Amino acid sequence: MTFAGTPIRRKILSAIMLTSATVLIVTVLGFMIYDTVTFRRAMARNLATLARVIASNSSAALAFKNEKDAREILSSLRVEPHVTSAALYDTQGKVFVRYPADAAENVFSGALPKLESSRFERSRLVFFEPVTQNGARLGTLCLASDLKALHDRLRLYASLAGILVLGSIGVTFLLSNWLQKRITGPILALVATARAISARRDYSVRAPKFSDDELGLLTDAFNQMLARIQEQTVASAFLAAIVESSDDAIIGKDLSGKVVSWNTAAERMFGYPAAEMVGQSIERVISSDRPDEERRVLEQAKCGETRRYETVRVRKDGQPIHLSLTISPIRNPAGTIVGVSSIARDITERIQAREALERQARVLREQAQMLDLANVMARDPDGRIILWNSGMEKMYGWSRAEVMGRNLREVLQTRFSQSPEEIQATLLREGRWEGELVHTRKDGQRLTVTSQWVLHKDDQGRPAAVLEVNTDITERKQAEEQIRRLNAELEQRVQERTAELTEVNKELEGFTYSVAHDLRAPLRHIDAFTRIVSEDFSAALPPEARRYLEIIRKGSQNMSRLVDDLLNLARVGRQELKRQLTPLNPMVADVVAEMKGETENRRIEWHINQLPAVEGDPGLMKQVFANLLSNAVKYTRPRGTAVIEIGQRQIGGETVIYVRDNGVGFNMKYAHKLFGVFQRLHRMEEFEGTGVGLAIVERVIRRHGGRIWAESEENHGATFYFTLDGLDKTRKSGSISKP
């Protein structure tokens, strides 16, 4: 049995046993070698010590040649059984004494070394020690020890190692036999699962998982693979069902043109059952007048191309069939092309329909000849021109022969005023369409045309052709264009004039402002000096003069107020708005409080309702309320109890703020004059004022994007309404008319 065929549990067992046995043997060998070396060293060291003692003791005996004494010293070596022989040499290298006494003369051969040294001979260790006294050399001692101790020790080790190795191998065998079951167990389970699957082809079986190690991963991967196969089995069953139920013939061929698969539709279409075609060449269904077609298509498929074309094939009963064929290469998972799929659709009916269409177009053409006065063309549902009369030839410069069968849009480079899909939808829905198109003549000139399309249907009510009658309106278009240009110029001129006027107006305002500003100083002088004269020289002046001075003072004060108001008005027009969110209730309360001087001796009922917060310039908004409330206070003076109401209401879906009083009111006939500068509806003697206050109010409101108006009836009070931009986000412009 080869190792490759051995079961995995045997392999693992052998691997573990071999490894551990090798390690053990190498270790034991290494230890034995180490021990031998150290033991030999220890032996040499022991012998050296012995040699040194003997040499030291025998120095005098050697020096004074006392043989008896020397022999006695050497004989003390008897206690050391391993020392087999010894000898003392004098300085001339001659043997002086030997041990044992009967030892051979040449028990130590070779030259005597000068220094202490040792050497291992075949079966003994020989040691040389110089004999000295006080540094003077007196001779040499040689000692030899047998290696029996070493050999005994080695033998002991070898037998111990043998027992150890055998015992260890036994234990290892039992241990690894037990351990390898934990590895081979899951593997064997996996193998059992795999066997069960290949035997029963049941891919729903799953291998049990024992652990989370690599084997666990392997089991998981195996189970996932099974799941994938299961899915694919189902998927291919689906695919097969689809192929079988398709109305198109689906045929698989190998690269030599031999049929590999042949679905039900193919059986129906060609009249051959699958059993007759599979394994046969496809040439059977190819008509004999197209001998090279199949070979050419195969070549193209081999290059990876997918081709679609129309052709004719022959049924088993000999009838020709028109087919639309789609030929695509089939690749294996590695991407190599291994075959070809043909999907064939029977288009015999379509071909017949097309032929019928052509016949109809001929009829249409003949009819259109009679309508030569108009510019008429017709196209089939695919956009190919099938009719082109002489009017068209004249209008576009293309002759009939040039355009027949070509796509209309391409020939005329049609540009649509709405999307072609919409036009098509209208045409299908209503049967006709009218509109403007831009076409290009053969000479490149652009034409604007009005186009009328009529959908022509065949006997079954399917779209068969579109009849198109076009009229050139290029000149009319150009005239219209001219008018539009003139209008635009006019508009431009009006805008320029408006800008000029605005500029002049601004200058005028600036001028007014500076004049008014400059008038203030002289006015103050007039007022001041008139007062000084009337106060200081009052006694000296006749009553007539005093009255005149008083009139001058009144006049100059009036003028001063007027100038201030005018400056205010100008400022309102000029100053930049600082918009911020301002709640109106506190502001109104402020204004009422500030009017204390005017209201001191009056009975006034204030009705101040909840007011919104507005996005506006707080200073200017306060001016608005100051002026309106001051007006209300002023014009209610004749009333015993003045009633002034401030609030908001909805008028026509718009939030409007109002100030109502029960004062003298005004005649609505003059309402249009109310907000003009210096416009006063009452005599100065009745109600003082400059006629600027409401003008300021109107201007502030206008600058905030709002409107102001008033309603009144003489002697029945007045109400001032105003709106502000952003007061009501849902306000609709124009939904409310100015009263």
Partner 1 sequence: MRVRVFSFFALGALGLSAAGGEAAREYQLKAACLHDLAQFTEWPTNAFADKDSPLLIGVLGTDPFGPVLDHTVRGQMAHGRRLVVERYRREQNLKTCHILFISQSEARRSDRIVDRLKGKPVLTVNDGSEGVGRGVVIGLVTERNQIRFKVNLEAAKAAGLTLSSKLLRLAEVVSTGKRP
Catalog residues that contact partner 1 under the rule CB under 8 A: 57, 59-61, 63-66, 69, 91-92, 133-138
Minimal distance in Å, beta carbon 138 to partner 1? 8
Q: Angle at the Cα of 452 (from 449 to 454), degrees rounded to 5?
A: 150
Minimal distance in Å, beta carbon 63 to partner 1? 4
Q: What are phi and psi of 590, to 5 degrees?
A: -55, -50
Taking the C-alpha atoms of residue 280 and residue 275, their distance in angstroms, rounded to an integer, is: 10
CB atoms within 10 A of CB 265: 21
Q: Would you say 63 or 188 has its CB closer to partner 1?
A: 63
How distant, in Å, are the alpha carbons of 1, 335, 696 from that of 305? Answer: 53, 14, 85
Minimal distance in Å, beta carbon 128 to partner 1? 15
Q: Are 33 and 158 in contact (CB under 8 A)?
A: no
Q: Would you say 50 or 692 has its CB closer to partner 1?
A: 50
Minimal distance in Å, beta carbon 55 to partner 1? 11
Minimal distance in Å, beta carbon 139 to partner 1? 10
Minimal distance in Å, beta carbon 125 to partner 1? 26
Q: Locate 199 and state its tokens.
A: 């035997």
- Which among 301, 309, 255 has a CA at the least distance from the CA of 282? 255
Q: Would you say 73 or 377 has its CB closer to partner 1?
A: 73
Cα 328 from chain centroid (whole Å) = 36
- With 0-12 / 13-18 / 19 or more C-beta atoms within 10 angstroms meaning exposed / middle / buried, residue 309 is exposed
Taking the C-alpha atoms of residue 44 and residue 51, their distance in angstroms, rounded to an integer, is: 10
Q: Would you say 138 or 286 has its CB closer to partner 1?
A: 138
| Continuous segment of H or E residues that includes residue 254 | strand 249-254
Q: Would you say 89 or 721 has its CB closer to partner 1?
A: 89
Minimal distance in Å, beta carbon 76 to partner 1? 13
Peptide bond into 739 cis (omega under 30): no
Q: Are 106 and 97 in contact (CB under 8 A)?
A: no
- Which among 297, 284, 285 has a CA at the least distance from the CA of 329? 297
Q: Would you say 134 or 610 has its CB closer to partner 1?
A: 134
Minimal distance in Å, beta carbon 42 to partner 1? 29
Minimal distance in Å, beta carbon 34 to partner 1? 40
Minimal distance in Å, beta carbon 30 to partner 1? 45
Q: Would you say 67 or 254 has its CB closer to partner 1?
A: 67
Q: Would you say 91 or 582 has its CB closer to partner 1?
A: 91
- Which among 658, 661, 663, 627 has a CA at the least distance from the CA of 644? 661
> Own/partner pairs for 540-543, CB < 8 Å, 24+ apart?
none
Q: Are 207 and 220 in contact (CB under 8 A)?
A: no
Q: Would you say 65 or 476 has its CB closer to partner 1?
A: 65
The 3-state secondary structure of 173-227, one letter per residue: HHHHHHHHHHHHHHHHHHHHHHHHHHHHCCCCCCCCCCCCCHHHHHHHHHHHHHH
Q: Would you say 94 or 738 has its CB closer to partner 1?
A: 94
